[in-house]
Structure formats: C-alpha cells, structure tokens
Amino acid sequence: MSENKIDNPSLSFCAPSEVDLQKRDFLVKATAATGAVGVAAVAVPFVGSMLPSERAKAAGAPVEVDISKLKPGEKLTAEWRGQPVWIVRRSPEMMAILDKHDADLSDPNMEVPQQPEYCKNKARAIKPEFAVMLGTCTHLGCSPNDNFAQTSDWPGGFVCPCHGSKFDLTGRVFKGSPAPTNLIVPPHQYLTETTILIGDDKKAEA
C-alpha cells in the first residue's frame, strides 16, 4: 500500500513556536491594558459628574470658605454667583470706630435692605469681628479697592477706582458717592468657628 502524502503545505500542522507564544502573550496583555484605559476614561467623567459643576456654582450653589488663616486686618476674597465676596477680619482698632462716622454716611441705619435681617447691626455681621460682603460697587459694578489705613479724615474702608464711591469697614456708603446704596451682604452662616457657608442662611445665627 502506498503511503499517503499531503502535498499542500498550508494544510500541514505545525506546533506553535516559542516566538509565536510570546507574540500571543503580548497581544493578550496589550488588549487587557487597552481595556483598562477605556474603563478609566469612562470612570473619570463619572466621578467628575458627582462634583459641583461650574454651572451650578454660577447659578448660586453655596460656597464654603475656610477663614482659619485670616488674621486681624486682612481680607480674603471668595467667589459666589460669579461675584467676589469679601471676608474681612476686623482688628480691635477697626472695630472701635465702626459707629464713629455715622453722620458721614448715606444710610447709616441700613434702612435699604442690602443685608439680611440678622446682619442689621453696627457691624453688619453675624460675628462682629468678621465682615462678609459682595466686593461689587452698587453704582456700576466695579470692584472697589481696600484702604484700611486710618487717618484723621478717613476711618478706613473701600474706594471704588471707577467713579470714586467710598464705603466704610462695614460696607456702608459715604455721602457724596455715586453709589446709591451700601454694599450687599450675602446670605451666609457659620458651619464651624472657622468655616463660613456663603449663599445659604437657613441655620444662620440671629
């Protein structure tokens, strides 16, 4: 009996070589790595979606501010609803003159509701030491500069560089200023002794 031969080499069976095995392992690992990267790419937007968006902040989402490092006589600027919010820690010297110039102010008794009811006091604040106000002039919306240096004719406060409106250390406007009203005090509350929540006052201290 004649021996059958396979003339077509493409039909012959060959055991995989060591080189082929190495290629296969490489392809498996590369595919796995690509899949892991894809999962990570999906996970990052998912985690990001759980954080407050810039649109939510602009719409008025409350903002927490840490004031633990704010020293007497210093000002910290935060942002709420796209506007600057000033937090000024007033020194004892600043506190001593808050009610010494009422006759020079347009609205010393805060008759215009530019502040929450719980801030309608001499300091325009929940805690007298800390002033919280929008850093936006009530004339045309410029941002006033702070000038805390006290002189014989200036008790310290803020001066608008655009049209010269002047405000005292509580944000009350001086007579003769183009600004018609005091600076706005936004709703806020203290979450802790050193953390202020701006934009939410449901638990604010009266």
19 and 81 housed in the same domain: no
pLDDT digits (tens, 9 = 90+) for 67-125: 999 999 999 999 999 999 999 999 999 999 999 999 999 999 999 999 999 999 999 99
State whether 40 and 110 are in the same domain. Answer: no
Q: Which residue has the tokens 């903002």?
A: 63
State residue 25's pLDDT score. 64
- Average of per-residue pLDDT across 6-10: 47
Name the residue type at position 61. A
pLDDT in tens, 154-163: 999 999 999 9
- pTM for the whole structure: 0.70
| Domain that includes residue 35, residue range | 15-49
Q: Looking at the structure, tell me whether residues 180 and 142 fall in a common domain.
A: yes
Quote the CA–CA distance of 191 and 131 in Å, as a whole number.
16
Q: In what order do the strands lie in the sheet with 75-80?
A: 75-80, 83-89, 130-134
Residues 6+ apart with CB under 8 A from 173: 105, 106, 107, 138, 165, 166, 167, 179, 180, 181, 182, 183
Residue 77 sits in the same domain as residue 116 = yes
Question: Given this model, what pLDDT does residue 56 score?
Answer: 53
Interatomic CA distance for residues 184 and 144, integer angstroms: 13
In a domain, 9, yes or no: no
Quote the CA–CA distance of 120 and 110 in Å, as a whole number.
7
Per-residue pLDDT at 152: 87
Segment 3-7 shows an average pLDDT of 48
pLDDT in tens, 42-74: 444 444 444 455 555 555 689 999 999 999 999
Predicted local confidence at residue 55, as pLDDT? 56
The pLDDT, as a whole number, for residue 189 is 96
pLDDT at residue number 34: 53
At a CB cut-off of 8 Å and minimum separation 6, what does 138 contact? 114, 165, 173, 179, 180, 181, 182, 183, 184
Domain shared by 144 and 87, yes or no: yes
Predicted pLDDT of residue 44: 42
CB of 174 within 8 A of CB of 167?
Answer: yes
Domains of the chain: total: 2
Q: Distance (Å, rounded) from C-alpha 153 to C-alpha 189?
A: 34
Indicate whether 179 pLDDT > 90: yes
pLDDT of residue 49: 40
SS3 (DSSP) at 128: coil
Percent of the chain past pLDDT 90, that is, above it, reads 65
- 74 domain-assigned: yes
What's the chain's Rg over C-alpha atoms?
Answer: 33
Residue 5 is assigned to a structural domain of this protein: no
Which of 78, 92, 114, 104 has its CA nearest to residue 168? 104
Q: Are residues 69 and 167 in the same domain?
A: yes
Distance of CA 11 to the CA centre of its chain: 71
Residue 72 and residue 151 in one domain = yes
DSSP 182: P
Q: Is the pLDDT reported for residue 21 higher than 70?
A: no
